[in-house]
A and B are shown apart, each in its own frame.
Chain A
Amino acid sequence: DIVMTQSPDSLAVSLGERATINCKSSQSILHSSNNKNYLAWYQQKPGQPPKLLIYWASTRESGVPDRFSGSGSGTDFTLTINSLQAEDVAVYYCQQYYTTLPYTFGQGTKLEI
């Protein structure tokens, strides 16, 4: 199994500041055939299902504010939230879809103001 490890488990950031969440995979999720990293980021607010933010490690889903950005390649990835807003309080998960045996998520990072 590909193990996804996020850091930190939780963080508190002031409004208007930058939040950085890291995700590390136990093996490379960069596919040589297309040079794409098979990584997605999700946001889950309390009482709601997860919402897709980023796929292919850095492609922002339609409608997601541009203060959200993803970066990284191979085994190390980062979700950056610039100019933190109150509505960004949530738990954030990374997920690899490089292999279905099995798909795996990080343990989640709780973001607070």
Chain B
Amino acid sequence: EVQLLESGGDLIQPGGSLRLSCAASGFTSSSYAMSWVRQAPGKGLEWVSVISGSGGTTYYADSVKGRFTISRDNSKNTLYLQMHSLRAEDTAVYYCAKCSGSGGGWFDPWGQGTLVTVSS
């Protein structure tokens, strides 16, 4: 069974940094792209970033480009999201999701999410 478990969410002050992790199990990590998707309180889903199975290709939403960095360690079956210069509007539940293919695709499954709150 494929399982994803996020961690690292916290209350952080504006301008601060945070690193999220997503531990994956039940599949060969390098064969699938992985994504981060966030959901602000009471709002809809916003795609944040995707990384290819090999880790060689990454894409970002304009709202986080230059501030967030996605990476993965396939030897540890772990996905990361390094977040810098955090803003109040980055407050959200952050989900990691397995993509359907090595380059992207639909998202299945999703982790349970980790809450990031940016506030002073």
Contacts and interface: CB of A to CB of B under 8 A. Distances in A.
Interface string A41-78: 01010000111100100000100000000000000000
A83 interface: no
Q: Is the interface of B mostly helix, strand, loop or mixed?
A: strand
Interface string B103-120: 011111111110000000
Given A49-B95, A49-B112, A55-B100, A105 B47 contact: yes
Contact of A50 (B45, B50, B60, B100): B45
Given A100-B50, A100-B104, A102-B62, A52 B44 contact: no
How many chain A residues sit at the interface, stated as a range, is: 20 to 34
B46 interface: yes
Contacts of B61: 102
A61 B47 CA distance: 21
Nearest to A55: B106
